[in-house]
Amino acid sequence: MSSTRVIAVANQKGGVAKTTTVASLGTALAELGQRVLLVDLDPQACLTFSLGIDPEDLELSIHHVLTKGLPPSEVMVTTEDGVDLLPATIELARAEADLLTRTGREYVVRTVVEDLDGEYDWVLLDCPPSLGVLTVAALTAARGVVIPLQCETLSHRGVGQLLDTVHDVRRFTNRDLEVWGVLPTLYDGRTNHARAVLDTISETYDLEVLEPPIPKSIRFAEAPAAGRTILSTSRTNKGATAYRDVAANLLRRG
Ligand code: ADP
Ligand code: MG
């Protein structure tokens, strides 16, 4: 069995820092000497863009790997942040529809990851903001799920639905899937409110809370335009430090 740890970063809500988390944790794990592959499973291709690759320049992408059986090595790119990437383009939007009628669609990501056997210590899957075919395929490929969560009053509304999907995946396509926990993002530690929301969510759904929370920082908004993650562009930023600490904790756990 491969010792690669495959983590799906999922939440069907947009804007909760899934992509930022994948890029930052990936970079942090690479800094710790881990071999890391990131997979962009969102047709918006924000992860690809934020790592300095313009999706418009790509002729081949993860779409061709998932729907046409192209070997991942043909679309793999190395990034300046020390991680490898299977990039996405807007073409991936068609994959949902293309895969819908295909036998084994839940397994398309898993097959890719299994074929990489042993090459990476970590594979982080950046899920799209939906619970569609691509997210289910990511959950089917993963050993663990990390759920980034912005601690606002209504942020828990989608969590139950996501956990229902995780439950179905565990039942039908991936018995070994575990929820590693929720990661508080865009966290404003100055308010008691954020902590209260977090406590409510973790109690209601019996979920572990990954530490430390990722604070809000304006630097995150600037990073994607630079084509590098915040860990590379502002080394001592408190958000970067928080992601490094989460990565070290994941490493201990994995
Ligand atoms: P998702 O992938 O869940 O849609 P993103 O990672 O794209 O979310 O983040 C959504 C927006 O929030 C982006 O503009 C990103 O730069 C910003 N962002 C992410 N994390 C933080 C943070 N800790 N502080 C401030 N802004 C953040
Ligand atoms: Mg995203």
Nearest to 176, CA basis, from 37, 4, 40, 29:
4
Q: Is the CB of 212 under 6 A from ligand 1?
A: no
What percent of the chain shows pLDDT beyond 90?
A: 76
Nearest to 194, CA basis, from 240, 144, 241, 153:
153
Q: pLDDT, tens digit, for every residue of 97-151?
A: 899 899 999 999 999 999 997 899 999 999 999 999 999 999 999 999 999 998 8
Per-residue pLDDT averaged across 49-57, rounded? 94
Task: Give the residue whose CA is nearest to atom 6 of ligand 1.
Answer: 17
Per-residue model confidence (pLDDT) at position 12:
96
Task: Give the residue whose CA is nearest to atom 19 of ligand 1.
Answer: 17
Token couple for 240: 């970067």
Whole-Å CA distances, 26 to 7, 9, 221 = 11, 11, 18
Nearest to 71, CA basis, from 57, 60, 56, 55:
60
Domain coverage including residue 92: 5-253
Q: What is the ipTM metric for this complex?
A: 0.99
Per-residue model confidence (pLDDT) at position 3:
87
Q: In Å, how far from its chain's centre is CA 84? A: 14
Per-residue model confidence (pLDDT) at position 1:
46
Q: Is the CB of 46 under 6 A from ligand 1?
A: yes
Task: Give the residue whose CA is nearest to atom 10 of ligand 1.
Answer: 15
Number of C-beta neighbours around residue 129 at 10 A: 18
Q: What is the CATH number of the domain that holds 157?
A: 3.40.50.300
Per-residue model confidence (pLDDT) at position 65:
96
Report how far ligand 1's centroid is from the alpha carbon of 104 (Å): 33
Q: Is the pLDDT of residue 167 over 60?
A: yes
Q: What is the pTM of this model?
A: 0.96
Per-residue model confidence (pLDDT) at position 239:
93
Q: Is 171 helix (H, G, I), strand (E, B) or coil?
A: helix
Task: Choose one of 11, 19, 20 to mutate for the ligand 1 pocket test, by most ligand atoms within 8 angstroms of C-beta.
Answer: 20
The total number of structural domains that make up the chain: 1
Q: pLDDT, tens digit, for every residue of 187-240?
A: 987 888 888 888 888 888 899 999 999 999 888 887 777 788 888 877 788 999
Segment among 17-31, 89-103, 228-242 with least mean pLDDT: 228-242
Q: Is 146 helix (H, G, I), strand (E, B) or coil?
A: strand
d(CA 214, CA 109): 28
d(CA 171, CA 188): 37
Q: For residue 168, name the pLDDT band (cuts at 50, 70, 90).
A: very high
